[in-house]
C-alpha cells in the first residue's frame, strides 16, 4: 500500500453527516458484552458479530470509518474476504486500536497511564500492510479526591503525542483520545475544569512532537456531570459547556472532533451531539466515534443467532442514521418513536 494522505483521510473520517464506529473492544471487553446475551466469546462468534456490523447495507451512508481490534483486523468474513478489504470496498476506512491498555501510574495511587509505545513503529508498519488507514490511542483520566494529578495529565498527554507522531510517520491518521471518565460524583463544572487541563496539555505535547493537526482527529469526552452527581444537567447545558471548553483549547486546524459516548445511553449520546451541532458554525466538524451508543441495540437484537442478523443490522442502521442526522443538527427524539 502506498503512503496514505493523512490530511485527506482525516477529512474523510469526519465528513459531514458521517462518524466512526468504535468496534475495537478487547477480547476481555467483548467477552463481557457477549456475556450479557449468553453468547460464548469464541473467535468465530466474535467474528460473526463484527461481520454483521460491517456488512450492514446502509452503514456507509453514515459511517466513515471503523476502529478495529488487532484480532479483527486480521480476520476475514465467512466469504474469505479480509475485513479491511470489505470496509475499503464499501468506502469505509478501517482503523486500529494500537495502545496496550491503561496501567497503574507509578507514584500515583489510583491513576492510570496508557502504555504501548515500545515497538509501536514496527506494529504500525504491519498494520499499514494489513490495510489500516488510521489508529486510535485512549488515555484514561479519572476525577476523584486529589485526582487527576498534574503527573497523570502530563504522562498521558506525552504518550498521546508520541503515539500520534509515530502514526503520522507511518502514514496513518491518529485518533487522539484523552478521556475524562464520567464515573464519580463530580459536577459538570469539575468535569469542564479537568477536560480543559487535559486538552491544554495534550495540545502542548502535540505541538512539541510536531504532529500535523490537519492530519489528526480528536476524540474527547463530552463535558457531563459524574454518574453519581445529584445534579444532572440538561442536554442544552451539556452542549453549551462542551463547546465552550473545546473553543478554548482545540485549534481550528484540527479537522474534526469525534466524541466518545463514555457510558451514555444511545439516545443521550445522539441528543447531545445534535444539540452541539445546533449551536451554529464551528471551527471543526463535530462528529461521533461511538461504541456501545451505536452497538447496544444491535447486540441485543442479534443474541448470537444468524436468524436475527437482519434485525440487528436494522438496529445498527437506525442508530447510524440518527447520529448522521445529529451531525447536521436535524435529529429529534420523536424520530426514535417513529422507528419503534
Q: Report the catalytic residues.
A: 177, 219
* CA–CA gap between residue 63 and residue 80 (Å, rounded): 23
Geometric angle at alpha carbon 55, from 50 and 58, rounded to 5°: 125
The sign of the CA dihedral 41, 47, 48, 51 is positive
Q: Which three cell numbers stand for residue 67?
A: 476502529
Q: Is the peptide bond before 6 cis (omega within 30 degrees of 0)?
A: no
Work out the number of other CB atoms within 10 angstroms of the CB of residue 125: 14
* CA–CA gap between residue 159 and residue 156 (Å, rounded): 5
The distance of Cα 60 from the centroid of its chain, to the nearest Å, equals 17
* CA–CA gap between residue 274 and residue 292 (Å, rounded): 18
Backbone phi, psi, residue 324, to 5°: -65, -40
Amino acid at each position: 500500500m502506498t503512503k496514505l494522505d493523512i490530511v485527506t483521510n482525516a477529512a474523510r473520517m469526519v465528513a459531514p453527516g458521517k462518524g466512526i464506529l468504535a468496534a475495537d473492544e478487547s477480547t476481555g471487553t467483548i467477552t463481557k458484552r457477549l456475556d450479557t446475551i449468553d453468547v460464548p466469546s469464541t473467535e468465530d462468534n466474535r467474528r460473526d458479530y463484527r461481520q454483521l456490523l460491517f456488512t450492514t447495507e446502509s452503514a456507509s451512508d453514515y459511517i466513515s470509518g471503523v476502529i478495529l481490534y488487532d484480532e479483527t483486523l486480521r480476520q476475514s468474513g465467512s466469504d474469505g474476504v479480509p475485513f479491511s478489504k470489505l470496509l475499503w470496498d464499501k468506502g469505509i476506512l478501517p482503523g486500529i486500536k494500537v495502545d496496550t491498555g491503561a496501567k497503574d501510574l507509578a507514584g500515583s495511587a489510583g491513576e492510570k497511564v496508557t502504555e504501548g509505545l515500545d515497538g509501536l513503529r514496527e506494529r504500525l508498519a504491519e498494520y499499514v500492510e494489513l490495510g489500516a488507514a488510521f489508529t486510535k490511542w485512549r488515555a484514561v483520566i479519572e476525577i476523584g479526591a486529589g485526582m487527576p494529578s498534574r503527573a497523570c495529565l502530563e504522562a498521558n498527554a506525552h504518550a498521546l503525542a508520541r503515539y500520534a507522531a509515530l502514526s503520522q510517520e507511518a502514514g496513518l491518521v491518529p485518533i487522539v483520545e484523552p478521556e475524562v471518565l464520567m464515573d464519580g460524583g463530580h459536577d459538570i463544572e469539575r468535569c469542564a475544569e479537568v477536560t480543559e487541563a487535559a486538552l491544554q496539555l495534550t495540545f502542548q505535547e502535540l505541538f512539541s512532537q510536531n504532529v500535523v493537526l490537519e492530519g489528526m482527529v480528536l476524540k474527547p469526552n463530552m463535558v457531563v456531570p459524574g454518574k453519581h452527581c445529584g445534579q444532572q444537567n440538561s442536554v442544552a447545558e451539556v452542549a453549551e459547556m462542551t463547546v465552550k471548553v473545546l473553543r478554548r483549547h482545540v485549534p481550528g486546524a484540527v479537522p474534526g472532533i469525534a466524541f466518545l459516548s463514555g457510558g451514555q445511553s444511545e439516545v443521550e449520546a445522539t441528543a447531545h451531539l445534535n444539540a452541539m451541532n445546533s449551536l451554529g458554525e464551528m471551527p471543526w466538524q463535530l462528529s461521533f466515534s461511538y461504541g456501545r451508543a451505536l452497538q447496544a441495540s444491535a447486540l441485543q437484537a442479534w443474541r448470537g443467532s444468524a436468524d436475527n442478523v437482519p434485525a440487528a443490522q436494522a438496529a445498527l442502521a437506525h442508530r447510524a442514521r440518527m447520529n448522521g442526522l445529529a451531525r447536521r443538527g436535524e435529529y429529534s427524539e420523536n424520530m426514535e418513536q417513529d422507528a419503534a
